[in-house]
Chain A
Amino acid sequence: MRKTTLGGKAFRAVLFVAFGLFFLFPLYAMADFSTRNLIAGGRTLQAWKNLVADEALYAAIVISLLLAVFTVVLMLLILVPTMIWVRLRAPWARGLVEFLCLLPLTIPALVIVVGLRNVYLWVTYFLGESALTLTFVYVVLVLPFAYRAIDAALSAIDLKTLSEAARSLGAGWATTIGRVVVPNIWSGILSAAFISIAVVLGEYTIASLSGYETLQVQIVLIGKSDGPTSVAASLATLVFGFVLLLILALVTRGKRRDTAGADPAVAAPTTATQPGVPT
């Protein structure tokens, strides 16, 4: 290691502080602004109370949380068996599956929603008008991140041996996947699940342009007339996402000795290395 001079250290410290201020100050400002009484001055928790008190906002929060859960469940149900099957029985499809999973990164959500209208006419015809039908599109949106996480986890275990052992002992496919493979890729699954939740809670483009009232759409609507409440809701979403990431890091730290070393705190970011972060 090169010796770091005092000047060098001071320089680095200054840079760190500058970056820290730039990134952390808006977060502080959100907390400050959301507790401010704009008209009378002074502090008030009314904005935060509105998260539960305001009917429309509360309904939107519930819908978004449900959407997140449904998306995670559907994504896991479809993606995990698919990826396992591709590795075990259909390796010729691997390139295709990977390409399709990473495709949503190249096709902006904005483009998808423009072409989505006709598809959703059919979806609402069969499944009704609830915002929960957004689940299908959201699963597509989270595919790249989930794929990376689960792929990393699957690469770290000896899938072939595990599954052959289970099958030779008489287990069916469902048991093999559910009771043998899944517990071994648990960190990857958790990582995929938490990233998907963060993505779904933050998704605005498709929901707003399709006319559904999810959390982010409601936040923007409220923002026109009530600044502090919308800032409070945004901050709550952000804190929730951060807490999820923290839980993920804590829970998988114990499992790290089982997986071949992929640090989940870094694995999570690397799945976010591409555009299509639904902004």
Chain B
Amino acid sequence: MAKRIREALPLLPFFALVTIFLIVPTVTVIFSAFFVDGAFSLSRIAALFSETALSALWKSVLLSASTAIIGALLGAVLAWLIVSSPPSSILRRAVISLCSVLAQFGGVALAFAFLATIGLNGVLTIWVQQHFGWNLAGSGWLYSLSGLILVYTYFQIPLMVIVFVPALEGLREQWREAAVSLGASTFQYWRQVAVPLLTPAFLGSVLLLFANAFAAYATAAALVSQGSPIVPLLIRAALTSEVVLGQSGFAYALALEMIVIVAIVMVAYNLLVRRTARWLQ
């Protein structure tokens, strides 16, 4: 026992840092969602079922699900394009490096990139206006949910590529050869060998993209300056304005809602990753 403690001592700085700056805030959120001024109360949780909160939740789910599916589909296509290129081609390495940068390219910079492109004074907007007379920026759709869907897709696709390329690479060429030698057509190979193998990886990636979009804040915050259509922006409003719902501490309930959803999705993702690893690692 003493030996254990001696072994654990040098790990103390690490544990202290993580505890104070990660565990404690999380515990505070969970705790404060249920305890108002020290007394147990479900009032903050009840506020989660108000119309504003439910509407924001629905829009968040819509945003995350749609960008997850679109990102997954398009990302899978791009991943297939990459994998079917010669392994040492420059194009392949360049695209993978670019994807790794773009997957990190979330946040504020992305919002401004799209403002510069299809915002009211955007490069593409003006070009299209001059050549075709259409008004791309139109009703300011960029600053609401539809705009967010487009912008989120921009970092969902590279993320999908990074996650899915290893799975595609795990599809060994020998299996294809074995299937062909047994008389399978290309379609049959895909339908009965490749797709069932790739499905857990694909579904897992969809879940990953969902959690990624659901928890994202900076891009939406930079793009949407008025209104709070999604849950993260509602948290911003709750943190910066006490007037929301006349309730203090609404942010805690919203944050709890966020942890719960993301945690469930991530658990499901990890289960699927383990299934994928069985064959494709």
A and B touch in the complex (CB under 8 A): yes
- A residues sitting closer than 8 Å to B (CB atoms) are 12, 15-16, 19, 22-23, 25-30, 32-34, 38, 78-79, 81-82, 85-86, 89-90, 92-93, 97, 100, 103-116, 118-119, 136-137, 139-140, 143, 198-199, 202-205, 208-209, 216, 219-220, 223-224, 227, 230-231, 234-235, 237-238, 241-242, 245, 249, 265-266, 268-270, 272-279
Interface residues of B in 248-266 (CB under 8 A from A): 251-252, 254-255, 258-259, 262-263, 266
Top 10 A-B pairs ranked by shortest CB distance? A279-B106, A115-B25, A269-B100, A108-B215, A33-B116, A275-B212, A204-B218, A115-B28, A234-B109, A29-B117
- Contacting A231 at CB < 8 Å: which of B8, B32, B116, B154? B116
Main secondary structure of the interface of A (DSSP, over half): helix
Asked if residues B252 and A205 are in contact (CB atoms below 8 Å), the reply is no
Interface residues of B in 105-133 (CB under 8 A from A): 105-110, 112-117, 119, 121-124
Instruction: Give the Cβ gap from B238 to chain A, nearest Cβ, in Å.
Output: 9
Instruction: Give the Cβ gap from B59 to chain A, nearest Cβ, in Å.
Output: 16
Q: Which residues of A contact B259 (CB under 8 A)?
A: 107-108, 111
Asked if residues A29 and B106 are in contact (CB atoms below 8 Å), the reply is no
Asked if residues B106 and A110 are in contact (CB atoms below 8 Å), the reply is no
Q: Which residues of A contact B236 (CB under 8 A)?
A: 209
Asked if residues A114 and B112 are in contact (CB atoms below 8 Å), the reply is no
Instruction: Check B198 for interface membership: any CB of A closer than 8 A.
Output: no
Asked if residues B262 and A108 are in contact (CB atoms below 8 Å), the reply is yes
Asked if residues B100 and A15 are in contact (CB atoms below 8 Å), the reply is no
Asked if residues B98 and A23 are in contact (CB atoms below 8 Å), the reply is yes
Instruction: Write the chain B residue with the least CB distance to A236.
Output: B109
- CB<8 Å pairs between A and B, sample of 22: A33-B116, A103-B22, A107-B22, A108-B214, A109-B215, A110-B235, A110-B258, A112-B22, A112-B26, A113-B25, A115-B24, A115-B252, A115-B255, A119-B24, A202-B104, A238-B101, A270-B166, A272-B162, A273-B159, A277-B159, A279-B110, A279-B217
Asked if residues A29 and B122 are in contact (CB atoms below 8 Å), the reply is yes
- Contacting A277 at CB < 8 Å: which of B10, B108, B166, B212? B212
Q: How far is the CA of A84 from the CA of B254 in the complex (A)?
A: 39
Given A32-B116, A106-B266, A241-B101, residue A205 in contact with residue B217 (CB < 8 A): yes
Q: Which residues of B contact A78 (CB under 8 A)?
A: 13-14, 17
Given A15-B81, A82-B14, A265-B97, residue A111 in contact with residue B154 (CB < 8 A): no
Asked if residues B255 and A279 are in contact (CB atoms below 8 Å), the reply is no
Asked if residues A208 and B221 are in contact (CB atoms below 8 Å), the reply is yes
Interface residues of B in 49-93 (CB under 8 A from A): 77-78, 81, 84, 91, 93
- Count of A-B residue pairs with CB < 8 Å: 256
Given A234-B112, A238-B109, A265-B96, residue A111 in contact with residue B258 (CB < 8 A): yes
Instruction: Write the chain A residue with the least CB distance to B261.
Output: A108
Instruction: Give the Cβ gap from A239 to chain B, nearest Cβ, in Å.
Output: 10
Asked if residues A23 and B103 are in contact (CB atoms below 8 Å), the reply is no
Q: How far is the CA of A65 from the CA of B100 in the complex (A)?
A: 22
Q: Which residues of B contact A220 (CB under 8 A)?
A: 108, 221-222
Asked if residues A242 and B101 are in contact (CB atoms below 8 Å), the reply is yes
Asked if residues B11 and A97 are in contact (CB atoms below 8 Å), the reply is yes
Asked if residues A111 and B25 are in contact (CB atoms below 8 Å), the reply is yes
Instruction: Give the Cβ gap from A46 to chain B, nearest Cβ, in Å.
Output: 16
Q: How far is the CA of A209 from the CA of B271 in the complex (A)?
A: 34
Instruction: Write the chain B residue with the least CB distance to A205.
Output: B217
Q: How far is the CA of A110 from the CA of B225 in the complex (A)?
A: 17
- Contacting A111 at CB < 8 Å: which of B29, B114, B121? B29
Instruction: Check B216 for interface membership: any CB of A closer than 8 A.
Output: yes
Q: Which residues of B contact A104 (CB under 8 A)?
A: 22
Q: How far is the CA of A28 from the CA of B215 in the complex (A)?
A: 28
Instruction: Give the Cβ gap from A178 to chain B, nearest Cβ, in Å.
Output: 15
Instruction: Check B36 for interface membership: any CB of A closer than 8 A.
Output: no
Q: Which residues of B contact A79 (CB under 8 A)?
A: 14
Asked if residues A273 and B162 are in contact (CB atoms below 8 Å), the reply is yes
Instruction: Check B206 for interface membership: any CB of A closer than 8 A.
Output: no
Q: How far is the CA of A242 from the CA of B96 in the complex (A)?
A: 13
Asked if residues B107 and A86 are in contact (CB atoms below 8 Å), the reply is no
Which residue of B108, B110, B117, B166 has the most chain A CB atoms within 10 A of its CB atom?
B108
- Contacting B109 at CB < 8 Å: which of A38, A92, A119, A237? A237
Asked if residues A202 and B22 are in contact (CB atoms below 8 Å), the reply is no
Q: How far is the CA of A92 from the CA of B5 in the complex (A)?
A: 12
Asked if residues A26 and B113 are in contact (CB atoms below 8 Å), the reply is yes
Q: Which residues of A contact B122 (CB under 8 A)?
A: 29, 33
Asked if residues B17 and A139 are in contact (CB atoms below 8 Å), the reply is yes
Asked if residues A81 and B10 are in contact (CB atoms below 8 Å), the reply is yes
Instruction: Write the chain A residue with the least CB distance to B94.
Output: A265
Asked if residues A275 and B215 are in contact (CB atoms below 8 Å), the reply is yes
